[in-house]
Amino acid sequence: MRSSIASVVFLGSVLAACADPAPTSPTASARSVALQRSGTARPLTGSCTVTFNPPPLPPPPVFHQVDQGTCLLSHLGATDFYGEQDINFAAGMQSGWRTLTAANGDELHTRHTGVSQPAGPGLVSFVAQMTIVGGTGRFAGASGTVRGVGLANLMTRTTTVTLDGTISY
């Protein structure tokens, strides 16, 4: 009987030694990564200053514009801005894509559509709806929507835009 109790104790010890270690609480950085990957909706706000290639005069019915600049955005910080869009002057509409690159190189990709109208001599006001369509790094699989409201100055070829929306990543 003693040998069978000793065998059971020995077998229990062997099984316990082979079992997974007791779970430990995640570190703060692991919790942060898990939170970032959880898809929680967060505000995405900020502003951008952008330069663009001017349309020829007179402007064609549809013009392909390239935009470059910088932004200061929540969840991205100081951000490089690059995008291309087609502007239909007669309809007062535009559509295209944007890439926002955070300082660490992570990219946020968007598609957008919008409307624009004259706002004074050489000025065009616009409102655009941006849809987040993923990215790289921490923004891989990101989603959300952002509204952009801005003013383009055709004389200086600069645009200022304020962004307000949500991002999930």
Q: Is residue 35 in some structural domain?
A: no
Tell me whether residue 125 is in a domain.
yes
Residue 157 lies in a domain: yes
User: Tokens at residue 77, please?
Assistant: 């910080």
Note whether 163 and 46 are within 8 A (CB).
yes
- Burial zone of 94 (CB within 10 Å; 0-12 exposed, 13-18 middle, 19+ buried): buried
In a domain, 74, yes or no: yes
CATH code (residue 49): 2.40.160
In a domain, 155, yes or no: yes
Question: What's the rounded Cα separation, in Å, for the pair 70 and 120?
Answer: 25
H/E element, 49? strand 41-52
Asked if residue 164 belongs to a domain, the reply is yes
Domain tally for the chain?
1
Residue 141 counted as domain residue: yes
Per-residue pLDDT of the chain (169 residues; tens, 9 = 90+): 444 433 333 334 333 333 433 434 333 344 444 444 557 899 999 999 999 998 898 989 999 999 999 999 998 999 999 999 999 989 999 999 999 999 999 999 999 999 999 999 999 999 999 999 999 999 999 999 999 999 999 999 999 999 999 999 9
- Give the global pTM: 0.76
pLDDT at 8: 34
Q: Is residue 14 part of a domain?
A: no
Check whether the bond before 58 is cis (ω within 30° of 0). yes
Sign of CA dihedral 79, 83, 89, 90: negative
Domain that holds residue 134: 41-168
- Expressed in angstroms, the distance from the first to the final Cα of the chain is 61
